[in-house]
Amino acid sequence: MAACHLRSISLPSRSHPLTLSIEEQLYKLKASQSSSIGHKLSGLKKFLECVDNLLQLPHAQRTLSHEAKPVCRNALNESLELLDLCDFTREFFSRMKESVQELELSLRRRKGRVCGLTDEVDAYMVSRKKLNKAICKCLRNLKKKERNCTTAVFDSNTDLTNSINSVQEISLVVFESTLSSISQPMAKSKKSGYLKIEKIDDELLSLKSSKDISLSQLQNLLKELEAFESSIKEAEEELECIYRRLVKPRVSLLNILNH
């Protein structure tokens, strides 16, 4: 991915509500390192909406169509990559949900006290290992792209280009955090603020070879799995909305270039 290069293209007024809203949303996203994945995805959705509204301004369209076509073309290329990344992320969450649902189904077949969950846990872990391998590959590529992206810093001369370039920058950060929430880390860490999957893994491994597992233990585990599945579904819905939000600025940029 090409590096993000900023040019001095200004909006008519620094005090424009959309400019201020974009800056505010960007600040909130950068400050939300310990927030839930759902909160980050919701923030990205609002941010993308603000950027598209900015692109609808007549002055922004005139400026981009006459003075900054290279910026538009670069943003269009980046938008395709972000759409692919969003699609990959949705697919990874869908696969994670399927693994959890299969585990839930196998546990519900158990009745009364049981001895060990070796088969069920092993099947789940094999599925998780395959998924984690794919996610880790995607995360490595993400980190490379992030290094090529210049951080947007708002000032009176670069509001418009910073708004466009910050779409790639903050989207990469949010997608990385989102994917990390369902990956298996090399070492336990609380950086993501999303430890539910690690907690479930620990409990599964603990119960895997237990000689005597009570019905209440199974029920508690199922409740945690159901809660985790629910959070995955919420993330899928937000990712679907983000995909549509990513399409809208792309259409706006295409229209600007074609006029």
- 33-51 pLDDT, tens digit per residue, is 768 899 999 999 999 999 9
Q: At what angle do helices 17-30 and 159-180 cross, to 10 degrees?
A: 30
Q: Which pLDDT does position 86 carry in this prediction?
A: 96
* Residue 213 phi, psi dihedral angles, 5° rounding: -110, 125
Q: Which of 80, 111, 94 is nearest to 219 (CA)?
A: 111
Q: What percent of the chain has pLDDT over 90?
A: 41
pLDDT tens sequence across 173-211:
999 999 999 987 644 444 444 467 888 988 898 888 788
pLDDT tens sequence across 54-98:
999 888 888 888 777 788 888 888 999 999 999 999 999 999 999
CA-to-CA separations, 58 to 159, 160, 187, in angstroms, rounded: 15, 13, 51
